[in-house]
């Protein structure tokens, strides 16, 4: 067994900052909590994770997401292009960002995840060559979101390949101290966190998008048995990148907002890929172990993107979405981390199909879920707009289920 894996098993996430109170019986809902947050100048900024000690025999302590001293339960959206689609060849035009935030406010959306960067390597000069303008534009987006009373979760390195390709390095350089890729990781993270930390609209910080899917792929090793290919990445490399990112965020953010990895749902074979280079299906214990590796301290959440309605475990076969969520929530609790669904659903055929996800998340007690994906012009894959019929009922579902969170949880 790998040394890094053994060390990952020992990691525990401990957050010892401001407390998070259980709700009173006054029926205060999410709108009341949001009002308390946005109207209080002295409140701690953003979402944060607090560990609630266990009570009772064999109880497991719980890590909960909090806002303004209260537990936070909400569903929101992804808006992938909120910032990245404003990066134009001739500069930065934030017109679409402001228009998107206006619509999201009108539709009652309170929390949004977005690509806080570029997608293609050739777009990276928007930051490297125009750093001051780039950071000023991000601050304007955060300021406008604050005016709209919308929380943002910026995802820093959406496409893992962009930085490495820009510097002409193999993807494994995400895990190599001293590489130009890691140098960029460090500079960009410090710049963006320093630029945005003053804004109450910043709810959390995320590394990137679904990097776990790139890790330890056996079919690549089967093709390249003498040396690693340029596009080969290992779990240890990703672990290093996550740790480096999270350490900088923690050092630069005085409010200790929550930190997310941005992972997809872990592959059914993710543990076996890492340990023995095989596609064999993991059991539930191995799933919990590999969850730790891909959400290392000081990351204090477990992030997954849930598009399937169940998954396989070798010790219990194909399970339902409800069982999948129970296993994921338990894995997060054993690590003292909060569970977040960073994306879900995509394009489904009916409103009822979406309700199955919302109901499952509500029943499982998932505190934060983000639907994929609102796009102002519908020009992002599997997205919806505010004017099409699907978009209209999806925004209706977001409002409906946020009301249910407030009513059924009292938070």
Report the alpha-carbon distance of residue 37 to residue 404 in Å, rounded.
20
Report the alpha-carbon distance of residue 301 to residue 61 in Å, rounded.
14
Q: Are 283 and 272 in contact (CB under 8 A)?
A: no
Q: Domain extents for the chain?
A: 3-14+74-409
Q: Are 279 and 259 in contact (CB under 8 A)?
A: no
The DSSP bridge pattern shows strands 368-371 and 338-344 to be: parallel
Residue in the block written with tokens 């409140």:
43
pLDDT given at position 227: 62
Residue in the block written with tokens 């396989």:
312
Closest C-alpha to 287, from 314, 305, 309: 314
Q: Which of the following CATH numbers is that of domain 3-14+74-409: 3.40.50.300, 3.40.630.10, 3.40.50.720, 3.20.20.80? A: 3.20.20.80
pLDDT given at position 170: 92
What one-character DSSP code corresponds to residue 165?
H
Which residue(s) pair with 340 in the sheet? 303, 368
Give just the sign of the alpha carbon dihedral 231, 302, 144, 95: positive
* 209: helix, strand or coil: coil
Which residue(s) pair with 77 in the sheet? 112, 371
Q: Tokens for 156? A: 């820093």
Closest C-alpha to 377, from 117, 14, 22, 103: 103
- What are phi and psi for residue 87, nearest 5 degrees? -85, 105
pLDDT given at position 1: 37
Q: Are 185 and 174 in contact (CB under 8 A)?
A: yes
Q: Are 110 and 76 in contact (CB under 8 A)?
A: yes
Provide the CA 168 distance to its chain's centre, in angstroms.
28
Report the alpha-carbon distance of residue 316 to residue 302 in Å, rounded.
22
| Local confidence pLDDT in tens for the 411 residues of the chain | 333 333 333 333 223 334 455 443 333 445 688 888 999 989 999 999 998 876 666 666 789 999 999 999 999 999 999 999 999 887 999 999 999 999 999 999 999 999 999 999 999 999 999 999 999 999 999 999 999 999 999 999 999 999 999 999 999 999 999 999 999 999 999 999 999 999 999 999 999 999 999 999 988 766 555 566 777 889 999 999 999 999 999 999 999 999 999 999 999 999 999 999 999 999 999 999 999 999 999 999 999 999 999 999 999 999 999 999 999 999 999 999 999 999 999 999 999 999 999 999 999 999 999 999 999 999 999 999 999 999 999 999 999 999 999 887 654
Q: How far is CA 346 from CA 1, 351, 354, in A?
A: 37, 12, 9
Query: For 384-395, what is the HEC assignment?
Result: ECCCCHHHHHHH
What one-character DSSP code corresponds to residue 68?
T
What is the rounded end-to-end Cα distance, in angstroms, of the chain? 43
35 CB-near residues (< 8 Å, 6+ apart): none
Closest C-alpha to 162, from 123, 214, 206: 123
For the beta carbon of residue 371, count every other beta carbon within 10 angstroms. 25
Q: Tokens for 331? A: 């894995």
Residue in the block written with tokens 């240890």:
236
Give just the sign of the alpha carbon dihedral 4, 328, 269, 76: negative
Q: Tokens for 299? A: 């990351």
The DSSP bridge pattern shows strands 111-115 and 74-78 to be: parallel
């Amino acid at each position: 067994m790998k040394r890094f894996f053994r060390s990952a098993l020992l990691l525990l996430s401990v957050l010892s900052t401001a407390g998070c109170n259980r709700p009173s019986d006054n029926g205060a809902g999410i709108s009341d909590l949001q009002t308390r947050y946005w109207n209080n100048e002295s409140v701690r900024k953003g979402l944060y994770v607090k560990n609630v000690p266990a009570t009772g025999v064999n109880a497991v302590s719980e890590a909960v997401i909090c806002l303004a001293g209260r537990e936070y339960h909400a569903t929101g959206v992804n808006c992938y292009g909120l910032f990245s689609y404003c990066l134009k060849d001739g500069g930065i035009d934030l017109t679409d960002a402001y228009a998107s935030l206006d619509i999201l406010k009108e539709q009652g959306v309170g929390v949004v995840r977005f690509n806080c960067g570029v997608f293609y390597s050739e777009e990276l000069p928007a930051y490297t060559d125009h750093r001051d303008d780039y950071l000023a534009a991000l601050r304007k987006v955060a300021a406008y979101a604050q005016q709209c009373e919308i929380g943002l979760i910026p995802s820093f390195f959406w496409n893992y390949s962009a930085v490495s390709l820009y510097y002409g390095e193999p993807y494994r350089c995400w895990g190599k101290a001293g590489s130009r890729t890691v140098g960029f990781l460090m500079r960009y993270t410090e710049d963006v966190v320093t630029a945005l930390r003053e804004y109450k609209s910043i709810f959390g910080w995320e590394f990137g998008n679904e990097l776990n899917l790139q890790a330890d792929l056996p079919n690549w090793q089967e093709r390249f048995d003498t040396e690693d290919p340029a596009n080969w990445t290992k779990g240890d490399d990703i672990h290093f990148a996550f740790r480096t990112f999270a350490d900088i965020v923690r050092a630069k953010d005085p409010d200790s907002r929550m930190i997310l990895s941005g992972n997809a749902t872990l592959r059914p074979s993710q543990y076996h890929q890492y340990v023995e280079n095989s596609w064999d299906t993991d059991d539930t214990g191995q799933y919990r172990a590999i969850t730790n590796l891909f959400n290392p301290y000081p990351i204090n959440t477990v992030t997954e993107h849930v598009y399937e309605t169940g998954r396989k475990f070798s010790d219990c076969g194909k399970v339902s979405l409800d069982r999948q969520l129970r296993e994921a929530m338990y894995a997060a609790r054993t690590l003292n981390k909060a569970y977040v669904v960073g994306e879900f659903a995509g394009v489904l055929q009916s409103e009822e199909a979406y309700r199955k996800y919302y109901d499952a998340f509500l029943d499982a007690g998932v505190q934060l879920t983000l639907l994929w994906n609102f796009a102002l012009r519908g020009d992002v894959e599997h997205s919806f707009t505010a004017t099409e019929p699907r978009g209209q009922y999806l925004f209706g579902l977001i409002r409906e289920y946020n009301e249910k969170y407030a009513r059924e949880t009292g938070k």
